Structure formats: structure tokens, C-alpha cells
Structure 1
Amino acid sequence: MNTIPPMNAAQTLLEAGAAQAIALECGDERVSYADLRARVRQSAGSWRALGLQPGERVVVLAPDSIDWVVAYLGVIWAGGVAIGVNPRLSAAELGPILQESDVRFVWHEADNQVALESLVATIDPAPVLVASGAPDSFWCRALAQADPIEPLLQDAQAPALWIGTSGTTGVSKGVIHAQRVALQPHAFATGVLGLRPTDRLYASSKLFFAYALGNSLLAGLRAGATVILDRQWPEAERVLAMVRQHHPTIVFCVPTLYSRMLQSGVAQQLGQQNIRQVVSAGEFLPASVRSAWREATGQQIVSGYGTSETLCLMLYSDSDQGWLLPTPGTQLRRDPGADPALPQRIWLRSSTVALGYWNRPQAQADGFQDGWYCPGDMFLLRDGGRLEYAGRNDDMLKISGRWVSTLWVEQALGQAGGPSLQQLACIGVSTDAGLTALALLAVAVPGQQAVAAQRIEAGIEALPPYRRPHWVHWVDALPLTATGKLQRARLLGLHRAALALEAAST
């Protein structure tokens, strides 16, 4: 990686697409690669004219759109560092991000101007607000007045973009990705999915989420394919509408959404469309969802493993067992002293692995080393060099002298609950005696509560005693992050609230 000549990530992403090929689609708007390159040059000229200096950070805070991509890539083209942020964050959530990141500009849509003015007034130094959307907006005027510029070439290790971790286990961290991230973001898509320039990629997740940014937008542009964007928030019926309107050949969704599409009947309708590959990532794909999807659509879901720190998928599985192999271009190593019979952490390396975290020295030392990244997840070694995902390191619990993964329990009970179950999560908690026990939090499909309870009870009886949950709480919903992942950091509080409610009713 250190021998890579100076480069610009935005330029690298846009160099492969044929001039007249469609690069992006959003609603009724389409833009060719030639037009996108011209618009990004103009965008970069605007950022430079506004005073953006190399290495300075720009937050892009808006729903997904072609303008979003143009502003985002224009920042990188001009030498800045782009940060996509969830536009649905509250002021209380957004303020600390802007403060900690020392952001120079915030690119946003004009209807958020008043709320953002109040927010940035509390930040020192205050970032400059750049409103977009209306023809007379600050951004549109800047575009009209600026001259297009050539890309600023930088060291391959220089920062190009940041992305926030999903916050499933606590406070989100800023992950710094280098210019080299643009070299091979399409390695998984081309090597496993067979991505070609004629393909059309659609991710239901939004561009502030690493899964969509890396595996759909960056991979699609790098391969010269068409990337489909959507301003609206993903729901089962919305996915169906997008597929019918834009006819993607490769679709990326998260397990929660696949489950909802199965429950709503959308899956069967998607099976009638000409989708060539369906991909799941963002969290673990239950075997029950994988098999139900194949039965409903005739398609095999390719499940992947990646993180904000890797941006793109590093491991994948296309088998019923869910065992994982490294994606093309990914190097993998294990700690030599680890017991191969027990779950263990692994180290990953590729050109898309991040430089590290912003202002998180302890997490940096734990997760990054000489170009390698070690996630907090655990894996079991299987035959043929494959890996079995075993949850996070804090999901491994010692119960009755035996190791138990909460993921194993979730898998078994998810299978037992079948279509009557909407959501399921298992956590380790302490009993009054100070011992470790399991608590199950479950959500039944509306109208299926009695069936779900009966199936879960039978599933628990079938487990070995040390894997059986001590508590089962039926709740209305489980907390999810903005990216649709289970927010595990909040589950203990949900368990305690359920206990308090049960105590009050007795």
C-alpha cells in the first residue's frame, strides 16, 4: 500500500465509467458518467472557492440524491474529507458530532437552515452552513460562479472520507478512510457477485451507512455500473416500488428488512423481478430468513460481513451453513496462540481498511495494527478455512462452566419461532445471586402472539439446560439504529424495564 502513487479517491472512482453510460439514477433523474465527472469538477471548484483547504472536513447532511453524491465527491476531488451523516439525527445527536469532528462546512438542504443555524451557534468554531436545493440557495449560487478544477492528488494514505460506526454497542466513533479506499471497493462485487458495467445496483440502506456507501455507490462507480438512489426511508413496500421502477440486477438489504419483506409478502413479488443477486449484511443473517427467502423467491441470499472500519464486505457466505470465506483481495490472519476450538478474534487487511479512529486512542490500539484491523466480533474456525460467526466478544458468556454465545441461542430460537416471530434478541445478565444468566427479548408477528409463545417455549425446552434463557420478555419492538441494526447497548435497559413491569403487576 505504501508504494501507491499520489491519487485522488474521487477521480479513481469515476475513471472507469463509459462517457454515455448512466452512472446514477434517483427518481426520474439520471446522470451519465461524463456529466457526473463534469458536475464533480464544478462541485470541487465551488468548495475550493468557498475556502475549503486540503484535509478539512465537510459534513453532507441530506437524504440520498444525485446532488448528495456530487457534493460528497466534490469535497474529495478538491482535497477535503467528506463525512456523510444521517439527516434524521436530532440536534442533541448531531451537535456532538459536529463539535468533535471540527467540521469546516455542513452541506444540507435549505429547509433545515433555521434549525441548523441554532445548532451551529452553540459550536466553537462554528461550521459554515451551505444550503442546497432551491435555485437561489447558497450552494447553487456557488456552483454557478465557480470554475471546474482538476483533482488534488494526495498520498494514498491521506484521509478521503470519514464514516461513523453504527453505534450498536454504544457511542459512535469516527472512522477515517484513506484515498486508497477507492482502489478496490468493488472486489467483493466483481469477484463474488460477478458485477459488470451493465449491472444496476440498489441498496435499501442510506449512503451515510458504510454498507451502502462502500458496496453499492463506491463499488458501482468503480466498476462503471449504474447506482440507484432513493430519497425515501426503506420499508418493505418501498423496496418493491424501487425494484419495479428501476429494475436493479443486484440488491443490497439488511436482515431485518428481508424478514419484513417475507412477512408482508413482498419477497414473493420480488422473486418475479429480474434480480440477479441479493446480498445481506449489516448484521447476522439468520438461517431461517435465508431458507425462507429461497423458498419464497428461488434466490439464494449472499450474506456478507463488513464493518465501518472495512467499509466494504471482507467475508461472505453463499451456503446454508452460513460459514464465511474472505472476499477477493482480503487478507486474514488469526492469533497463533488462540485455541482453535473456541471462538476467537481475527485480523483483516485490504485497501479499504481504515486508517483508524478520530480521537479514540484506546480503541485505535485495540483494533488497528500495521494496516490490519481486528473487529470486536468472534469467529469459530471450520473445515476448509471457513469461519463461523459467533457474535461479539462480549456476547460469549460462561454459564454453568460452559461457553455460550448469545448468537447461538438466537439462531436456535429464531428457527423455532419461524414465521410467527418478528424480532428476537438474547443477552447475558446477572441474577440476584451474582451468576450469569440469559434473558430473551422477543417480538411476535401481530396476531401470532400465542403461536410464537408456544413455539419459543418448545424451542427453549429443546436447548441444553445451560443455553436456556432464564427470562423471556415479550415486547412491542426491539430498538434499532438508524441503519436498521439491533441496538444491543439498550437491551439491558429493556430487560430491566420488563422486570420492573412484571414486579409491579404481581
Structure 2
Amino acid sequence: MIETSGAYNAVTYLLDRNIDEGRSQKLAYTDTVSELTYGQLQQQTCRVANLLRRLGVRREERVAMIMLDTVDFPSVFLGAMRAGIVPVPLNTLLTADQYAYVLADCRARVLFVSEALYPSVKDIVGRMSDLECVVVSGKNAFGHKLLSEELKGESDVFATVATHADEPAFWLYSSGSTGMPKGVRHLHSNLAATAETYAKQVLGIREDDVCLSAAKLFFAYGLGNALTFPMSVGATTVLNSERPTPAVMFALMNRYNPSIFYGVPTLFAAMLHDEASKDERAGKRLRICTSAGEALPESVGHAWKARFGVDILDGVGSTELLHIFLSNAPGDVKYGSSGRPVPGYKVRLVNEAGADVADGEVGELLVDAPSAGEGYWNQRSKSRRTFEGHWTRTGDKYVRDADGRYTFCGRSDDMFKVSGIWVSPFEVESALITHPAVLEAAVVPEADSEGLLKPKAFIVLRADAEKRGLDEALKEYVKQKIGVWKYPRWIETVDALPKTATGKIQRFKLRDDGAATGHGQA
């Protein structure tokens, strides 16, 4: 493990070390339009640091980033940290009101925003009391400062600030699947902690790897995939500024031939079932795929391996813990499970009383992690409920088998009892999507005429699905797959499921809609 006690700046570990080890000319990033070698990236981060100093931003103050995945993102993110300033990458799909909330919450002095995303904030930037400057990445500054022009006059030499290993380095806002996002404060030491554990001991990432992540850099999973992990070994990363559709991802695979592909369950399923891409392959160099964000259905894992000959390493991580802490591993894959604890992480399953549960019993997952954030910004009560000394509460319900593998059962606030027995929405959803007519499914509790909770399913059908008699067929199908009491009493067909930008199903919206609209078809 890299020593990260005392004076330590994460940029030295991630970037400058590559220069010291002779990778100045090695390609670090390409975004299909621009490229940066490690040497050029170092120079750009120094220019950004000098720019921020000229703009009057001081150590420990925040700068917000609403930026697409281009080479400007790592330049700004690392440049701010080099100066001891705290970058705050934000979800690029928020509404103006949500941006106003987050910008006010983090009190950003400067906002870096991609040209294509500026319209989403143009009406609010003038009323943010702490925001003093907007810098636009692109060709049109909209009356503000243009990043490329501002950097031209800055020096490519900067004395990296001697930050502390335990000093906040960056913030990430939670995806907000259950409400307004919370700002998680991460430390300079957290980045190396994920690279030296998951990236090196599970992925076995190498200098000759080419990495492609569907998850964006503003997301904790994507930040590790496309910044921390490849830079920790001097690998090359392909950035994608577009929406990660099957067509886009297959085109990037064909062009750049990545060796590691980081996806999410909904994308893997969409790539498998996209008719327009049914003859596409995944590249000859591809040696490993990973999945996070939500549990990977067993059927999707098997289908991907059968088609592409490469396993998907399903794992679970969180914004609070920065990246994956439970994972399957090469040569040790069991689809349907989240695998085992990542080396360097300890986990517990506890009941409502806080006592450890036995194998085969459902409990809430707690993690002792070297990458845990130090808490939520201005959310003391929530911080105390989540960060309990060494242990971080995940809010996930899991069961552990006798072999030490962990299987996801659902979020603590998604689980409910039917006839006195816990039901996992994920288990019912996993059964539904194995039916040939169902593409996606989400399950929530719904009260019947007696006021008792029963499963209600929202499904997205495949294009060629036969709808006649399907509801009753699906109910019988689930009964046979996982148990009579678990089948959905109501099934509602929808065009799409509500999701966060990171692909997580927002079941709370379905619960709210169900309460407002009543039962689906019984």
C-alpha cells in the first residue's frame, strides 16, 4: 500500500509519479477529438492550478464542475487538487433547481461547465451568492471566461501544494435516488486506497491496459474507472462525452479496442438485446468487464459471457466509500452474487439490533473501508447515522453463504414483508427479466384491499413481446422461479423505468406513482 500519512497530495501519486517513471510521452487520455499524454496532462493541471490562483481561489475552497467526459475534465479535477483546492464534480443531468441547490450547498467560488451544458445553468449563475466566476469548456464562452483561452497565458509550472493525507481533496454528491443529493467529502488518501485494493488486487490493472467506462467521471464508479485506476499504473483511457447507448459503446470498442470495459447492468442488458447491434463484437483485446451501480442479474452475466467470452465482475460500491468493496474476481465468478470482500476491506451483516447475523440470514451491510469519506457536508445527523467509527452503513440488505459470498437482497428501504416473510424486490425483478418477453423490471410494495403489502411490478417489454395473456403468464412464471408468495399481484407495462443518471432504478418514484394512481392490472 502507498504510504499516505502526513504531507501528501493525490496528484503526486496519480500523475507526477508517471512522469518520474518515464511515461511523459505515454497517451493518458483520448476523447475522440483531443488527446493528452501524461506529460501534457501534467502541464495542463499546472496551468489550471495557476488559473485558479489568479482567480483568487484559496486552498480548501470549492470549485464546481458540470463537465462532460473530455480531456478537460481530468485537467480541471487534478489541477484543482494540485492547488489544494477542492473540485466538486456534479451530475451532468440535473435540473436548474438541483444545480442551484448544490451550488449553494457547496459554496463554489468558480464553476467550470461544458459548453453543451451551459444552457442548464444560464438562468441561475447570476443569483448564486458565492459564485464569482464561470469558466466554459468549449468554443463559446457565453460572455464568461473560455477555458482554452484562459489557460494559454498560464505557466505550466506550479509548486504542488503540500496537502495532508487526511485533508479533503474533492467532494462527490450522492446520486439522489431518494431525494436531494448529499455532498460526500473525500480525502487525498482515498483515491490511492481504491487503486491499491480493487484496481490492482481484483482487476489486476496494467500499464498496457486501455480503459473504457460507460459510467461518467462525475460518478464515484466512473471516477475510479477512468481516472484513479488507469492513472495509478500509467494506462490509457478512452473518454466518452455522449450518452452511453449500445451503438455508441460498440463504436468506441471497435475504434479503440479496450482491454477493460466498465459498465452498468442496464447497459449490459441493452447491449445484449439491441437489434441494431446484434452482430457487433466487443473487441479482441477485451479481457475483463466490470459492473456496479445495481446488482447484475444472473441471466445478464451468463448471456454476456456466452456472447463475448468475457466475464463481468459484478461488485457493489457507493459514493460514500468511493468505489467497489464487494466483488467477484477473475477465476472466481458466481453470477447472481456480489462476490467477496475486496482485499483491504472488512464487512459485517447486522440485524436491526446491530448484532451480526449468521450465514443464510439477511442483514444490513456495514463496511470498514480505507476509502470511506469523512462525512456529509452540512448533514451532521445523516453523517452520524451512516459513518459509525470504522464502519459505514451502506443501507443495502445482503445475505452471506457458507463460502463467504454475498448476495444482494435490496435496499433497506425497499425490502418489505409478505405473509411475514421478507421479500427482496431485486429477487422478483431478476426472475421477471429471465422471461423472454421482459427487458426490464422494477418491483415495489403495494397495499391490497386488506391493507397488506404485496409485490407490484412495472415492466418494460421487448419489442417482439406477445402481450396477450402475458400478465397471468408472468405471475405463474415467478411463482415457479422463486416462490408462490413472491409473485407480483399487479403488473403494469411502462415505456421506461425512472432511473438516476448512473442507472439506478428510482423505486421511490414508482412507489409514489403507485400511491397516486392505484393498482396496476391485477
TM-score, structure 2 normalization: 0.90
Which residue does the alignment assign to 1:71? 76
Alpha carbons of 1:110 and 1:472: their partners in 2 closer, same or farther (altered >3 Å)?
A: closer
Residue 471 of structure 1 corresponds to 490
| Matched residue type, 1:122 | R
Q: Displacement, 1:348? A: 1.6
| Residue 327 of structure 1 pairs with residue 342 of structure 2 | yes
Q: Does 1:279 align with 2:260?
A: no
Give the counterpart of 1:196 among 198, 206, 215: 206
Residue type matched to 1:458 in 2?
Answer: E
1:94: which partner in 2? 99
Using the alignment, how far apart are the partners of 2:132 and 2:451 within structure 1? Answer: 49
Aligned to 1:431: 448
Q: Matches of 1:66 and 1:271 in 2, distance apart? A: 24
Offset, 1:89 = 2.3
The alpha-carbon distance between structure 1 residues 3 and 205, as it changes in their structure 2 partners (threshold 3 A), is: closer
User: What SS does structure 2 have at the residue aligned with 1:489?
Assistant: helix
Identity of counterpart residues, as a percentage? Answer: 29
| Pick aligned residue for 1:105 from 96, 99, 110 | 110
CA distance in 2, matches of 1:203, 1:313: 14
Distance between the aligned counterparts of 2:4 and 2:108, measured in 1? 30
Going from structure 1 to structure 2, the CA distance change for 1:304 and 1:458 (only over 3 Å counts) comes to same
* Structure-2 residue corresponding to 1:447: 464
C-alpha change, 1:301 and 1:430, in structure 2 (3 Å) is: same
**1:183 and 2:178 aligned:** no
1:232 equivalenced with 2:242 (yes/no): yes
Inter-partner Cα distance in structure 1 for 2:271 and 2:308: 11
SS at 2:442 equivalent = strand
* Structure 2 equivalent of residue 290 of structure 1: 301
Aligned AA for 1:402? I
- Report what 1:125 is aligned to: 130
Whether 1:139 aligns to 2:134 is no
Once the two structures are TM-superposed, the CA of residue 10 in structure 1 deviates from its matched residue by: 2.0
Q: Does 1:316 align with 2:316?
A: no
CA distance in 2, matches of 1:502, 1:436: 16
Deviations along 1:160-181, one digit per CA (max 9) or x if unpaired, are 1111112223322111111112
Aligned-partner Cα distance in 2 for 1:138–1:412 = 51
For the residues of structure 2 that align with 1:157 and 1:82, how far apart are their CA atoms?
16
Cα distance change of structure 1 residues 118 and 474 upon mapping to structure 2, 3 Å threshold: closer
Q: In 2, are the aligned partners of 1:281 and 1:304 still within 8 Å (CA)?
A: yes
Contact 2:10–2:189 (CA under 8 A) maintained in structure 1? yes
Aligned to 1:162: 171
Deviates more, 1:319-328 or 1:18-27: 319-328
Relative to the length of structure 1, the TM-score reads 0.93
Greater Cα shift, 454-463 or 191-200: 454-463
- Asked whether the 8 Å contact 1:202–1:216 carries over to 2, the reply is yes
Alpha-carbon spacing, 1:485–1:465, altered in 2? closer, same or farther (3 Å):
same
- Whether the 8 Å contact between 2:226 and 2:239 is mirrored in structure 1 is no
The more displaced of 335-344 and 131-140 is: 131-140
2 CA distance for matches of 1:384 and 1:115?
Answer: 49
Aligned pair in 2 of structure 1 residues 140, 9: CA closer, same or farther (>3 Å)?
same
Shift of 1:2: 11
Q: Which residue of 1 aligns with 2:423?
A: 404
TM-superposition CA deviations, 1:301-353 (whole Å, max 9, x none): 11111011111111112223425201122222344723324211232233321
Q: 1:222 maps to what in 2?
A: 232
Contact 2:476 2:487 in 1 (8 A): no
Alpha-carbon contact 1:12-1:182 (below 8 Å) kept? no
Residue pairs, 1:477-492, within 5 angstroms = 477-492=496-511
2:67 corresponding residue in structure 1: 62
1:457 to 475, 486, 494: 475
Question: Aligned-pair distance for 1:382?
Answer: 1.0
Are the equivalent residues in 1 in contact too, given 2:316–2:338 (CA < 8 A)?
no
Distance 1:455-1:296 versus aligned 2 partners, 3 A rule: farther
For residues 87 and 281 of structure 2, what CA distance do their matches in structure 1 show?
34
Q: 5+ residue gaps in structure 1?
A: none
SS in 1 for 2:111: strand
Equivalent position of 1:149 in the other structure: 158
The one-letter code matched in structure 1 to 2:316 is Y
Superposed displacement of residue 287, structure 1: 0.7
Between Structure 1 and Structure 2, the one with more helix by share is: 1
Match of 1:261 in 2: 271
Q: Displacement of 1:257 after TM fit?
A: 0.5
Q: Which residue number in structure 2 is paired with residue 382 of structure 1?
A: 401
Q: 1:276 to 1:400 in 2, by over 3 A?
A: same
